[in-house]
């Protein structure tokens, strides 16, 4: 009898544990879905801020916001279509050259590491072990998806593309109701200050975006030219990739250097030195010329702050986290300065001299 009661108790405990684990799994899936929706909406908001600059410029010239917004979106799509028509054949050839050269590059570098390890008595890759294809795919999914598995389905990707197009379009065409409703969530006495802070946050983010886009174009062109003269295959594609990765300061340029460096090591080791020298020169041009002249001191961020933000956001939210990390830091910097530092400075009084 006692054995039967004990077995029933164990069965109930197992069922309770299974239900608790299933409940935690449902909560995790719910949080992942909420995080995906919020991050996609933030991407749409970021694109809306980027679009608001030219829309405001056209609106000041008596062009209705809706007409300006639709015209700019159609213009961007037309430019993308034209660029694809002109450059897609070249890009396909460049990507094919890169894909053809990478296996030999990895094999050559693996042989060098194996020789170096054997020379010092540490066998490395000698047993043929190494990252398998499934391991590489798993790493890629983790990089793209993060801890919450974002962009894990085609539905999520389509939803993101729809939001990325229509949210900026509607927000730039008629932003006043959304901003006014958001400000109305605060007490009436705080609303004028909220309008001012939101305006400064938008202006700071817009200035940073303008600087980033211009820096991306210049750095991409410099990288493509340098790699072409060095003789690295796929120079145009690698230059465009470097320009896109330049969106994330400090971290993106380091990542963009890895493919051309691997290709250079597979050929002439002297080319690897030229790639590193090109990286150092381009970074000096960006750090001491482009960033001070284009972005200025208002949108400047400390490198440690950028690296921490990108690392944490990328580990938690994958590609979207990396994409939104630095813009979020820019907005947070403006909010902290306006809501905390300025409040402390305005509320502080100079010490009075004792009589």
**C-beta of residue 217 within 8 angstroms of C-beta of residue 355:** no
pTM of the entire predicted model: 0.72
What is the per-residue pLDDT for 126?
Answer: 46
Q: Which of 217, 216, 211 is nearest to 298 (CA)?
A: 211
What would the pLDDT profile of 281-292 be if each residue is shown by its tens digit? 998 888 777 777
What is the per-residue pLDDT for 295?
Answer: 60
What would the pLDDT profile of 103-153 be if each residue is shown by its tens digit? 776 677 677 767 766 777 655 544 444 444 455 445 555 555 555 555 555
What is the per-residue pLDDT for 225?
Answer: 92
User: And the tokens for 145?
Assistant: 């998806």
DSSP secondary structure letter of residue 190? G
318: left (phi over 0), alpha (psi -120 to 50) or beta: left
Domain ranges of the chain: 33-124+145-346
All residue ranges of the chain with pLDDT < 70 are: 1-7, 102, 105-106, 109, 113, 116-117, 121-157, 294-300, 347-355
User: And the tokens for 151?
Assistant: 């962009």
CA–CA distance from 295 to each of 24, 157, 287 (Å)? 45, 32, 11
Taking the C-alpha atoms of residue 260 and residue 98, their distance in angstroms, rounded to an integer, is 9
What is the per-residue pLDDT for 154?
Answer: 58
What is the per-residue pLDDT for 132?
Answer: 47
């Amino acid at each position: 009898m006692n054995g039967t009661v004990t077995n029933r108790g164990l069965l109930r405990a197992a069922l309770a544990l299974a239900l608790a684990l299933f409940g935690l799994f449902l909560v995790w899936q719910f949080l992942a879905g909420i995080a995906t929706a919020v991050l996609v909406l933030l991407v749409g908001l970021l694109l809306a801020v980027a679009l608001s600059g030219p829309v405001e410029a056209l609106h000041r010239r008596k062009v209705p916001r809706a007409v300006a917004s639709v015209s700019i979106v159609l213009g961007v799509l037309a430019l993308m279509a034209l660029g694809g028509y002109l450059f897609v054949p070249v890009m396909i050839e460049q990507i094919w050259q890169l894909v053809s050269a990478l296996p030999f590059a990895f094999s050559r570098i693996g042989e060098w590491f194996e020789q170096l390890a054997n020379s010092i008595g540490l066998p490395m890759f000698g047993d043929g072990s190494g990252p398998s294809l499934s391991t590489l795919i798993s790493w890629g999914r983790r990089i793209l998806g993060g801890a919450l598995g974002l962009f894990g389905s085609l539905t999520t990707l389509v939803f993101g593309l729809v939001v990325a197009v229509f949210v900026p379009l509607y927000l730039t065409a008629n932003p006043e109701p959304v901003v006014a409703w958001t400000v109305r969530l605060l007490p009436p006495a705080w609303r004028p200050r909220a309008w001012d802070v939101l305006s400064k946050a938008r202006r700071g983010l817009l200035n940073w975006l303008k600087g980033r886009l211009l820096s991306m174009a210049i750095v991409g062109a410099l990288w493509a030219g340098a790699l072409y003269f060095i003789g690295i295959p796929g120079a145009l594609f690698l230059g465009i990739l470097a320009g896109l990765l330049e969106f994330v300061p400090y971290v993106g340029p380091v990542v963009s250097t890895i493919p051309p460096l691997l290709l250079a090591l597979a050929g002439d080791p002297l080319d690897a030195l030229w790639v590193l020298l090109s990286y150092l020169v381009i970074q000096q041009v960006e750090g001491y010329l482009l960033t001070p002249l284009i972005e200025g001191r208002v949108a400047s961020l400390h490198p440690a702050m950028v690296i921490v933000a990108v690392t944490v956001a990328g580990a938690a939210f994958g590609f979207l986290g990396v994409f939104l990390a630095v813009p979020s830091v820019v907005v947070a910097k403006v909010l902290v300065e306006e809501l905390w530092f300025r409040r402390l400075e305005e509320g502080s009084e100079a010490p009075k001299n004792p009589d």
